[in-house]
């Protein structure tokens, strides 16, 4: 009888259990063991902020299957035939002997286990700023169930009145919302000039404005230099500019680093970015050891470069690949990531996929073209909500390189469509006649996704000369004097306007009022409306009547990230 294969998985959060489960499905007789340092298994860590925020109250829902069964060691043993040991820390890997040394954290008992194949899923560890006071009571992260339990207790007790969140990324913003919903006065402190660095500045600013509208304070271009305390307890933070903020709670959310200690100590190759280096089979430099999840470096499918991509969905996909290969031999591959992500921001969502304009320039993509589209996700009579999308494409080929979308509308649908377009290698021309599902409860007749491609097509063909809101603001700051033409109706103008010296001539009256425009046909004219659909039509009217330097402010007033007059 053939000897049973033993597969050991180090780590029991997302990638590890997925790998173990996949291995079991392919090898019924294998001896599969999960060794998990924490007391819980298969934690839905991306759900922590929503548990803290009170979207649901049953902590067990973070540990359950879709049918409500808790994923504990008994579940893994009975339902999957997998031995899952919690409170068990792996202290060493001996590659030549193919054994791991582990310690039971409750009893102190040590043990060694042999393996045929090993899967490392040790995740990541939160970054903590190297400043005084980081060990004070009241300073925490939101990385573990223990952290989530602590912050949920803070919420439920209602004693803390002021808190700061250090870091304006995904976790920072989600934590900001969770604590604000608990009635806590929140300040987000971000070292960089913007929140959510996967977005370009102008879209991130729209998100920032929305967060501020929810009574959260945002401080950018500033960091902390000290956690202040009294008798071991946090009382405030001191910022780089010298300001001090009182607070009773500080949540640090400045990112994570791959947890590679075990791999490094045993001589497994570590990549330049600090993650475990793996091939397309999720195999490390040791052919008998695989690695998955937040501890590894992944291939960016657009650039061909290695990246760190600590996302829960990727961890599960990688775990599935490694589990199959560990059980059945290298037969499936993980092709890499295009770094697609999304987060909830109060009534907004913010998502991106592929390259932002900022990232593209930083990586040497100099011949790119961008466009911004602001429009609803479905008709007004179906209570459509705003979406603002920025598309990035290769100027020569029209190949889609990236997309970002923010707003209260269905951002997830848009980002999912752009992600598939990028992974399919599609160009703008491939998208302009996409056959997507349409009915008024779900989308416009020409979906926002397709409309964005239409605008890009017009821009690439020279039919529309677009200018971004950032470029318009820069012209004004440089004391340039373009003629700014708002073509909305008077009622709209009275309700909301930019107040940047614009002239109001409604589109319906434009043909009769051309004499009010600059006599100099070379004068730069920038047209816009609420979303710049009418702005585009106005530009066509002006060009047909001889004006030669007419531009459309992309996204219109709804994409304007700066202060408005009203």
Residue ranges per structural domain of the chain: 6-124+257-328, 139-254, 347-460, 466-559
**Which phi and psi (to 5°) does residue 529 adopt?**
-145, -150
pLDDT for 3 equals 81
What would the pLDDT profile of 512-557 be if each residue is shown by its tens digit?
Answer: 999 999 999 999 999 999 999 999 999 999 999 999 999 999 999 9
- pLDDT, mean of residues 176-190: 96
Topology of domain 6-124+257-328, per CATH? FAD/NAD(P)-binding domain (3.50.50)
pLDDT for 2 equals 65
Which SS3 state, helix, strand or coil, does residue 289 take?
strand
Q: How many C-beta atoms surround the C-beta of residue 212 within 10 A?
A: 12
- pLDDT, mean of residues 418-431: 98
Average pLDDT in the chain:
97
Q: Report d(CA 79, CA 188) in Å as an integer.
A: 44
Q: Report d(CA 322, CA 263) in Å as an integer.
A: 16
- pLDDT, mean of residues 445-451: 98
Give percent of the chain above pLDDT 90.
99
Count the alpha carbons within 13 Å of 377 in the hemisphere toward its beta carbon.
22
- Measured at the CA of 204, the angle between CA 202 and CA 206, to 5 degrees, comes to 75
pLDDT for 293 equals 98
Nearest of 51, 279, 26, 9 to residue 156 by alpha carbon = 51
* Per-residue pLDDT at 1 exceeds 90: no
Topology of domain 466-559, per CATH? Oxidized Rhodanese; domain 1 (3.40.250)
H helices within 5-144, ranges in order?
15-26, 48-52, 73-80
Instruction: Categorize the per-residue pLDDT at 566 as very low, low, confident or very high, splitting at 50, 70 and 90.
Output: confident
* Per-residue pLDDT at 32 exceeds 70: yes
Nearest of 423, 125, 64 to residue 293 by alpha carbon = 125
Within 8 A by CB and 6+ apart from 108, the residues are none
Place of tokens 């977005």: 199
* Per-residue pLDDT at 414 exceeds 60: yes
* CATH of the domain spanning 139-254: 3.50.50.60
Q: How many C-beta atoms surround the C-beta of residue 159 within 10 A?
A: 10
| Token pair belonging to 431 | 């998208």
CATH class for the domain made up of 347-460: alpha beta
| Token pair belonging to 454 | 């239409």
**322, containing H or E segment:** helix 312-328
Q: What is the dihedral of CA 483, 488, 493, 495, to 10 degrees?
A: -150
Q: Report d(CA 63, CA 144) in Å as an integer.
A: 12
- pLDDT, mean of residues 303-315: 97
Judge if 347-460 and 466-559 fold alike in CATH terms: no
Answer positive or negative: Cα dihedral of 511, 513, 519, 523.
negative
Instruction: Categorize the per-residue pLDDT at 16 as very low, low, confident or very high, splitting at 50, 70 and 90.
Output: very high
H helices within 145-216, ranges in order?
145-157, 170-181, 201-213
| Token pair belonging to 522 | 């070379």
Tell me the pairing of strands 400-407 and 386-394. antiparallel
Q: Report d(CA 539, CA 518) in Å as an integer.
A: 14
Q: What residues form DSSP beta bridges with 553?
A: 467
- pLDDT, mean of residues 293-320: 97
What would the pLDDT profile of 364-379 be if each residue is shown by its tens digit?
Answer: 999 999 999 999 999 9
What would the pLDDT profile of 199-249 be if each residue is shown by its tens digit?
Answer: 999 999 999 999 999 999 999 999 999 999 999 999 999 999 999 999 999
- Given a contact cutoff of 8 angstroms between Cβ atoms, the answer to whether 155 and 52 are in contact is yes
What would the pLDDT profile of 87-129 be if each residue is shown by its tens digit?
Answer: 999 999 999 999 999 999 999 999 999 999 999 999 999 999 9
Measured CA to CA in angstroms, residue 71 lies from 29, 86, 189, 448 at distances of 21, 12, 36, 40
Instruction: Output the pTM of the full model.
Output: 0.96
Kindly report the three-state secondary structure assignment for every residue of 382-428. Answer: HCCCEEEEEEEEECCCCEEEEEEEEECCCHHHHHHHHHHHHHCCCEH
Answer positive or negative: Cα dihedral of 132, 136, 141, 145.
positive
Q: Report d(CA 429, CA 130) in Å as an integer.
A: 49
What would the pLDDT profile of 135-159 be if each residue is shown by its tens digit?
Answer: 999 999 999 999 999 999 999 999 9
What would the pLDDT profile of 385-403 be if each residue is shown by its tens digit?
Answer: 999 999 999 999 999 999 9
Give percent of the chain above pLDDT 70.
100
């Amino acid at each position: 009888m053939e000897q049973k294969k033993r597969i050991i998985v180090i780590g029991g959060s997302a990638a590890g259990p997925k790998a173990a489960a996949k291995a079991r499905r392919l090898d019924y007789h294998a001896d599969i063991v999960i060794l998990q340092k924490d007391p819980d298994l298969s934690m839905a860590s991306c759900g922590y902020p929503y548990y803290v925020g009170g979207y649901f109250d049953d902590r067990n829902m973070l540990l359950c299957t879709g049918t409500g069964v808790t994923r504990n060691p008994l579940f893994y043993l009975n339902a999957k035939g997998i031995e899952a040991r919690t409170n068990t820390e792996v202290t060493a890997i001996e590659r030549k002997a193919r054994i791991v040394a582990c310690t039971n954290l409750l009893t102190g008992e040590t043990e060694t286990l042999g393996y045929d194949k090993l899967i490392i899923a040790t995740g990541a560890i939160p970054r903590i700023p190297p400043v005084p006071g980081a060990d004070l009571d009241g300073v925490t992260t939101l990385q573990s169930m223990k952290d989530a339990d602590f912050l949920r207790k803070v919420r439920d007790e209602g004693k803390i009145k002021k808190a700061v969140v250090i870091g304006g990324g995904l976790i920072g913003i989600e934590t900001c919302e969770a604590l604000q919903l608990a009635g806590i006065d929140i300040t987000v402190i971000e070292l960089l000039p913007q929140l959510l660095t996967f977005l370009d500045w102008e879209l991130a600013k729209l998100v920032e404005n929305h967060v501020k509208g929810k009574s959260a304070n945002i401080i950018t271009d500033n960091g902390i230099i000290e956690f202040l305390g009294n008798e071991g307890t946090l009382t405030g933070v001191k910022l780089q500019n010298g300001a001090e903020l009182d607070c009773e709670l500080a949540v640090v959310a400045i990112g994570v680093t791959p947890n590679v200690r075990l791999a490094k100590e045993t001589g497994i190759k570590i990549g330049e970015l600090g993650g475990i280096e793996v091939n397309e089979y999720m195999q490390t430099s040791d052919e008998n050891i695989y690695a998955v999840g937040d501890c590894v470096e992944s291939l960016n499918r657009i650039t061909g470069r290695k990246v760190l991509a600590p996302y829960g969905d990727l961890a599960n996909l990688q775990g599935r690949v490694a589990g199959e290969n560990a059980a059945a031999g290298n037969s499936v591959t993980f092709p890499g990531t295009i770094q697609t992500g999304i987060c909830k921001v109060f009534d907004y969502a913010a998502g991106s996929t592929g390259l932002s304009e900022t990232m593209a320039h930083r990586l040497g993509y100099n011949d790119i073209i961008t466009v911004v589209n602001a429009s609803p996700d479905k008709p007004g009579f179906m209570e459509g909500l705003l979406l603002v999308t920025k598309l990035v494409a290769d100027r020569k080929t029209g190949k889609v390189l990236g997309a970002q979308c923010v707003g209260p509308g269905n951002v997830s649908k848009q980002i999912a469509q752009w992600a598939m377009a990028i992974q399919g290698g599609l160009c703008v021309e491939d998208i302009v006649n996409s056959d997507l599902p349409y009915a008024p409860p779900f989308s416009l007749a020409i979906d926002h996704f397709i409309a964005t491609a239409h605008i890009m097509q017009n821009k690439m063909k020279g039919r529309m000369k677009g200018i971004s809101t950032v470029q318009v603001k820069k012209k004004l700051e440089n004391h340039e004097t373009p003629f700014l033409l708002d073509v909305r109706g008077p009622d709209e103008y009275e309700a909301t306007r930019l107040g940047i010296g614009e002239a109001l001539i409604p589109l319906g009256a434009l043909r009769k009022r051309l004499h009010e425009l600059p006599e100099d046909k070379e004068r730069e004219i920038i047209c816009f409306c609420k979303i710049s659909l009418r702005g585009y039509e106005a530009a066509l009217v002006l060009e047909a009547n001889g004006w030669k330097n007419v531009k459309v402010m992309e996204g219109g007033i709804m994409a304007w990230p700066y202060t408005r007059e009203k």
